[in-house]
Amino acid sequence: MNDRTSPVDDQEALAFHKEPVPGKLGLTPTKPMATQRDLSLAYSPGVAAPVKAIAENPDAVYDYTSKGNMVAVISNGTAILGLGNLGAPASKPVMEGKAVLFKRFADLDAVDIEVEEEDAEAFIECVKRIGNTFGGINLEDIKAPESFIVEQRLRELLDVPVFHDDQHGTAIISAAGIINACHLTNRKMEDLRVVVNGAGAAGIAVLELLKAMGVKHENALLCDSKGVIHPGRDGLNQWKAAHAVETDRRTLAEAVDGADCFLGLSVAGALTQDMVKTMGKDPIIFAMANPDPEISPEDARAVREDAIIATGRSDYPNQVNNVLGFPYIFRGALDVRARTINEEMKIAAARALAALAKEDVPDEVAAAYHGHRPTFGREYIIPSPFDPRLIHYVPPYVAQAAMDTGVARKPIADMSAYRASLARRLDPTAALLQRIQGAVMGHGRRIVFAEGEEPSVIRAAYAFQNQELGKAVLVGREEITKANMRLVGVPEDAIEVVNARLSDRNSDYADFLYERLQRQGYLRRDVQRLVNNDRNVFSACMVKLGDADGMVTGTTRSYAAALSDVSLVLDPAEGQRVMGMSIALAKNRTLFIADTNIAEFPDSEALADIAEETAATAKGFGFTPRVAFLSYSTFGNPSGQRSEKLQEAVRLLDERGVDFEYEGEMNVDVALDPSHRFLYPFSRLKGPANVLVMPAIHAASIATKLLRVAGGATVIGPMLVGVEKPVQIARLGASVSEITTLAALAAYDPEKHEVETPMVAE
């Protein structure tokens, strides 16, 4: 985590903002604009209907416009980053960037507005007149003390949340870190002795929030460039004066002597090593000046190894990054149509962030740190901005606080459903996976993880079990497995470990496998060696003989090798063909694609079987299957030998009398685009196909990878279908989340859950 990021070249940054089109923002319509009727509905005359409805009931604006998902990012450019007052036009790149972050992290649409007005009253009047057209107002880069006046007045004048991120965003993230630092050092907030250096907008906001969370007024000293703020000082404005404390300390050095916590929002070098030496045991140092902190972590640790340190920089641990706050705070506030963002909502956000930092981090976080996986402790007290769980972790805290304090106009009745909807906003697989997880949760199905010595598999098994998706069993040598459990921070007794060679069931498995393979050239010693040494064979035996309900493997061997091992033990399900199926989620559609990894050149009968099995699987996931046999030709044009086998597969389904829609052969655009029905009115598909049967494995592989890489689709799988017992084979080097997903799929029983737990509506 301490690897420094590469410096950004000015010319590179300019090119980034200029090409391929200037700026970082664009608009995308949410309704189709393809026909004259679309235009009539979107504008005249159709638009008159919502206009009248809103005139009669102003709150209906949330129902018929984008207001409820729209934030205005507003600045006058008087305090741009650390560059100072460079004017409103110069602030536009920053405001555009802020808008991009709203969209990227919370799926909120944001519009940047730069106001050429430095007079506070005139600025307030301008924002007042346009403010209520948005769901919320994010104020940015406005210098103090005007920023205090502007935010306070606009909160009084507008009926939507107003939030000055430079103040409160920094305060919330800092508070989250302080919560966890106190936890690690066995301190209580009410006993904390705090020094804040920097009495600008951010410094005062940090101090106010900490006091709201329990820090005592007399235990908190605020310092500016002239020293400690106390009642006897002349020239204090009302915001500084509110935090003046009776004390005989006058300098920053005197203030930090014996202090538990230093929060710097000032200038580089303000805190010296000599000052750090005088701080209390386990000092908490948040040096947040940018680009260079009040003291570097290296200098602080050189004199105090017991210090917990945070900065505003991404190249050190514990970055106080505002992107952890404002997107999710506004998400929660707008989702309940809050009138304001109050102290309780800010505290809720801080507590949510503090709680998330204690959770085991997902793969996305490890990837952001070049494979290093941070764990909760002195160098990880604040979550990573790359943690994908932020979107469904923080907003519910904020929304609940808004509801509890009476500022929510639209309370959320089902908070669990709300969390699920948040996860779906940025992750197209979330809806599907949530339903799968919901279906298997509480059934206690035992899933064996064949490669139990691998750290990624251990973490996946732990996640599977912690999420109550079932009981995990690791196959591996105890000494190695438990050592790796310690390495990844999993308690040694958290997961059952089975050593194949020492298992009480070893001889039973060998007896079964010898009887199965003795006429296929295997001697007794051969099968005994397989059971002892091959984890896939042993795990498959566990599943076959009822000691486990399903298995996951594949991270250390090729797909073909893993499948070959499993096939020594398990047969195809009765009347089924073993095949691979991938699920692609793209552009608001879900596609089931087969066969993606077993049959290289399936004949007509195999294609018909694949269609039936894939349709059944899609139905098991709650979809109404519509099958398309894909080809380079469409209904015989152009004709060819390869298209004939697809035509024959269709005829076989005709003879079988299957209970789902199917058609072919056809090109992929005909299968997916409903408008092609006008050219082929005889087609039996009543809508776009969602089950795509490929003519050969290479076509399936190319299609799924093209969808993922070039089309931006999320692909689950390939799933193994048609084996008599639930088995899933991961790709080589699969991530923890991928392994966990496959384990959930192995635990999922489509026949059992199809009626009880429908997956998704199309």
Of residues 260, 271, 289, 262, the one with CA closest to residue 186: 260
Among residues 24, 31, 43, 686, which one is catalytic?
A: 43
Q: Are strands 661-666 and 446-449 parallel, antiparallel or unpaired?
A: unpaired
Phi/psi zone of residue 468: left (φ > 0), alpha (ψ -120 to 50 degrees), beta?
A: left
Q: How many CA atoms lie within 13 A of 386 on its CB side?
A: 13
pLDDT score recorded for residue 468? 87
Q: Are 440 and 469 in contact (CB under 8 A)?
A: yes
Buried b (16+ CB within 10 A) or exposed e, 29-61: eeeeeeeeeeeebeeeeeeeeeeeebeeeeeeb
Q: What angle do CA 490, 483, 743 make, to 5 degrees?
A: 50
Examine the residue annotation and report whether 397 is marked as an active-site residue of this protein.
Answer: no
Given the structure tokens 């000052």, which residue do they identify? 275
DSSP class of residue 408? B
What three-state secondary structure class fits 137? strand
Write the CB contacts of 23 (distance below 8 Å, at least 6 apart in sequence): 17, 96
Strand partners, 473: 448, 496
Strand partners, 590: 585
Look up residue 145 and give its two tokens. 């003390």
Write the CB contacts of 191 (distance below 8 Å, at least 6 apart in sequence): 219
Q: What is the largest CA-CA distance in the chain?
A: 99
Given the structure tokens 């996946």, which residue do they identify? 460
Residue 428 burial (CB count, 10 A): 18
d(CA 285, CA 181): 10
pLDDT score recorded for residue 478? 94
Cis peptide before 595 (omega within 30 of 0): yes
Which secondary structure element, helix H or strand E, spans residue 746, and what is its range? helix 736-747
At residue 396, what are phi and psi to the nearest 5 degrees? Answer: -60, -35
Q: How many CA atoms lie within 13 A of 731 on its CB side?
A: 12
Q: Are 315 and 377 in contact (CB under 8 A)?
A: no
Q: Are 630 and 761 in contact (CB under 8 A)?
A: no
Given the structure tokens 């210098």, which residue do they identify? 143
d(CA 680, CA 234): 85
Look up residue 635 and give its two tokens. 């209904």
d(CA 542, CA 213): 53
Q: Are 446 and 726 in contact (CB under 8 A)?
A: no
Look up residue 355 and give its two tokens. 């709680």
Distances (CA, A) of 274 to 70, 260, 279, 311: 49, 15, 9, 19
At residue 729, what are phi and psi to the nearest 5 degrees? Answer: -115, 120
pLDDT score recorded for residue 9? 58
Of residues 573, 578, 574, 497, the one with CA closest to residue 538: 497
Q: Are 759 and 623 in contact (CB under 8 A)?
A: yes
Look up residue 142 and give its two tokens. 């406005």
pLDDT score recorded for residue 369? 67
d(CA 29, CA 22): 20
Write the CB contacts of 10 (distance below 8 Å, at least 6 apart in sequence): none
In a 10 Å sphere around its CB, with 0-12 CB exposed, 13-18 middle and 19+ buried, how is residue 171 labelled? buried
Of residues 294, 299, 290, 283, the one with CA closest to residue 378: 283
Q: What angle do CA 554, 732, 569 make, to 5 degrees?
A: 20
Strand partners, 586: 589
Examine the residue annotation and report whether 328 is marked as an active-site residue of this protein.
Answer: no
pLDDT score recorded for residue 590? 87
What three-state secondary structure class fits 175? helix
What three-state secondary structure class fits 377? strand
**Mean pLDDT in each 10-residue stretch from start to end of the chain (762 residues)?**
48 73 81 80 89 93 93 93 86 92 91 94 96 94 90 94 92 96 96 95 93 96 95 90 95 96 94 97 94 93 96 89 93 96 96 95 71 87 90 96 96 92 75 76 91 93 90 96 91 93 95 95 94 96 96 92 94 90 82 87 93 90 90 86 87 93 91 82 90 91 86 84 93 86 86 41 38
Of residues 447, 453, 449, the one with CA closest to residue 486: 453
**Alpha helix segments (H runs only) across 657-696:** 668-672
User: What type of residue is 271?
Assistant: L
Q: Are 760 and 435 in contact (CB under 8 A)?
A: yes
d(CA 414, CA 758): 19
DSSP class of residue 319? B
Q: How many CA atoms lie within 13 A of 576 on its CB side?
A: 19
**Alpha helix segments (H runs only) across 427-475:** 430-440, 455-466
Distances (CA, A) of 736 to 427, 454, 726, 742: 16, 11, 19, 10
pTM greater than 0.85 (yes/no): no
pLDDT score recorded for residue 368? 63
Give the sign of the dihedral formed by CA 332, CA 338, CA 340, CA 344: negative
Among residues 18, 62, 92, 98, which one is catalytic?
A: 98
Give the sign of the dihedral formed by CA 696, CA 699, CA 702, CA 704: negative
pLDDT score recorded for residue 759? 38
Distances (CA, A) of 41 to 48, 52, 67, 408, 738: 9, 14, 19, 32, 43
